[in-house]
């Protein structure tokens, strides 16, 4: 009778298996991917620098229209500091878009097209130790909170694993839809761009009772360009104006 008594003394969330929660997340994300790829949106990015008192001061902003080019998302610059681009810069952006479309078409035909990513949720099952640290309500939705740390002693097998294992992760996973509402990545190891302690926080919402999409994010920490150049930075992202779009009607160089 000792074991049932011990289980009864634990909070309900404590007996959930984090591995099973992650497996449900992976399945839900696979189902969500196609729906999410049907939305275009506007991304507003505000860039901050830190003054001598370590206070963030807004330096500039950029607005991008997220469109599909050869079936993949592409950020098209449409404004700086809330002002539309001048005609000559608009023309340069159009030429850039055409060049990217041509490059992606060549890469797709040669099968060289690759993503740069911080890993997938599947990587959590193989490269990380995962623990359920509690449950929390976010914007009226109940979530499981899972903390993931790189497996101790794990030697990266390739460049992908080396990059992924430079982060700790924390996920808030919706208990009903099994989707991530919030994610926090913290640099804890050697990373080619970010110094340890840098954090990336992303917020997700269900759009039009359909796809789960990123609605905001913050990157804060230090970049590293050389041994002596490690500027403190903060960038805030806000996504809006989500519109469903036929992914088959993407910008393409095909006739």
Judge whether residue 226 has pLDDT over 70.
no
Overall domain count for the chain? 1
Examine residue 184 and state whether it is found in any structural domain, yes or no: yes
Examine residue 9 and state whether it is found in any structural domain, yes or no: no
Examine residue 72 and state whether it is found in any structural domain, yes or no: no
Q: Tell me the residue range of the domain where 220 lies.
A: 18-65+117-247
Residue-wise pLDDT for 183-217, tens only, equals 999 999 888 788 999 999 999 999 987 899 999 99
Examine residue 134 and state whether it is found in any structural domain, yes or no: yes
pTM: 0.83
Examine residue 82 and state whether it is found in any structural domain, yes or no: no
Examine residue 75 and state whether it is found in any structural domain, yes or no: no
Examine residue 22 and state whether it is found in any structural domain, yes or no: yes
Examine residue 133 and state whether it is found in any structural domain, yes or no: yes
Average pLDDT over residues 6-17: 61
* Average pLDDT of every residue of the chain: 86
* % of the chain beyond a pLDDT of 90: 60
- Which pairs count as long-range contacts for 104-112, CB under 8 Å and 24+ apart, including other chains? 104/69, 104/70, 104/72, 105/70, 105/252, 105/253, 105/254, 108/70, 108/71
Residue-wise pLDDT for 34-71, tens only, equals 888 889 999 999 999 998 888 999 999 999 999 888 77
The pLDDT value recorded for residue 52 is 87
């Amino acid at each position: 009778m000792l074991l049932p008594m011990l289980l009864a003394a634990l909070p309900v969330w404590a007996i959930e298996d984090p591995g099973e929660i992650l497996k449900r997340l992976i399945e839900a994300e696979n189902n969500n991917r196609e729906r999410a790829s049907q939305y275009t949106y506007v991304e507003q990015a505000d860039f901050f620098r830190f003054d001598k008192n370590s206070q963030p001061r807004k330096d500039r902003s950029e607005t991008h229209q997220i469109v599909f080019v050869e079936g993949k998302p592409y950020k098209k610059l449409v404004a700086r500091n809330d002002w539309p681009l001048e005609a000559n810069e608009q023309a340069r952006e159009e030429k850039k878009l055409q060049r990217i479309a041509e490059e992606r078409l060549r890469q797709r035909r040669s099968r060289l097209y690759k993503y740069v990513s911080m890993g997938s949720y599947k990587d959590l099952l193989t490269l990380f130790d995962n623990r359920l640290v509690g449950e929390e309500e976010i914007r009226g939705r109940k979530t499981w909170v899972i903390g993931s740390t790189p497996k101790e002693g794990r030697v990266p097998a390739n460049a992908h694993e080396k990059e992924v294992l430079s982060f700790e992760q924390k996920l808030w996973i919706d208990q009903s839809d099994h989707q991530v509402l919030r994610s926090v990545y913290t640099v804890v190891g050697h990373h080619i761009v970010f110094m340890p302690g840098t954090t990336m926080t992303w917020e997700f919402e269900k759009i039009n009772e359909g796809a789960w999409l990123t609605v905001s994010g913050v990157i804060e920490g230090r970049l590293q360009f050389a041994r002596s150049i490690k500027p403190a930075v903060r960038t805030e992202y806000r996504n809006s104006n989500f519109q469903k779009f036929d992914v088959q009607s993407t910008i393409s160089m095909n006739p």
